[in-house]
Amino acid sequence: MRAATTLVRFVVYWDIDGTLLTTARAGVPALEDAAETVVGRRPDLTAMHTAGMTDPMIAEAVLQAMGHPGDPASCDLFLDAYTAALPYRLRHKRGQVLPGILDALTYLAARQDVANVLLTGNMRSGAEAKLQSYGLAAFFATGGFGDDGSDRSDIARAAIGRATECYGRAAGSGVLVGDTPYDIAAGQTVGLRVLAVASPSHDRRELEALEPWWVTDRMPPGAELLEKMAQETPTPVGRTSRGS
Ligand SMILES: [Mg+2]
């Protein structure tokens, strides 16, 4: 945590999968490992669409698809088995840090008036495993995680609460960087502006239809993001356009 917290003017909240990095779906065999632990047989989850879903949502969906009740205790067991299996799976299937991310994080981390905060559906230990595996862990001191709730809006509230404790009031009017409609919905629910970065799974047109603050085809330079944040007054919660 930085010493002069009152200097923070801009808080940037980051989704992980599909935004900071791709694991080349290394998490899928870890999910299969977890299902096997809980249910006793191994599903084939290769075709499952998990983009934007929180880990607790995925746990419940996988268990129920296998005919299991997917009760909270079983979901917890599933998530423990998943995060235990993940580091091994991450070593054996390699994805990449996405274009523009390392430059943007490096630039933003060097600024005294900016804080980078996680806002991810990953369980905290899974998030740490992914970030360590791809060399990004040092950029983040706090965040909101799948441990904070199944709904991404609850995770967003937790992330804002922790960021406010660390960095002060600016945390309530930051920008959320994400790649799916789930990120946009969560940001809009809690009053964060959303930078939606298009991907093959969710293209520009699909994201623009949901009216986030900004849609780009790749992560813009950190300086460009800060300039746009500084120019535009945050939209109050419940309003649909600036100045209305
Ligand atoms: Mg994502």
Query: Domain residues of the chain, as ranges?
Result: 5-23+96-231, 27-92
C-alpha 231 – ligand 1 centre gap (Å): 26
pLDDT in tens, the chain (244 residues): 455 445 899 999 999 999 999 999 999 999 999 999 999 999 999 999 888 899 999 999 999 999 999 999 999 999 999 999 999 999 999 999 999 999 999 999 999 999 999 999 999 999 999 999 999 999 999 999 999 999 999 999 999 999 999 999 888 889 999 999 999 999 999 999 999 999 988 999 999 999 999 999 999 999 999 999 998 765 555 444 443 3
C-alpha 135 – ligand 1 centre gap (Å): 18
Closest by CA position to 142, among listed 162, 112, 122: 162
Rounded-to-integer distance, Cα 145 and Cα 16, Å: 10
Report which DSSP code applies to 77. Answer: H
**Contact 229/192 with Cβ under 8 angstroms?**
no
CATH match of 5-23+96-231 with 3.40.50.1000 = yes
Q: Supply the pTM of this predicted model.
A: 0.91
Residue 147 backbone zone (phi > 0: left; psi -120 to 50: alpha; other: beta): alpha
**Contact 63/35 with Cβ under 8 angstroms?**
yes
Question: How many Cβ atoms from other residues are within 10 Å of residue 93's Cβ?
Answer: 14
C-alpha 234 – ligand 1 centre gap (Å): 23
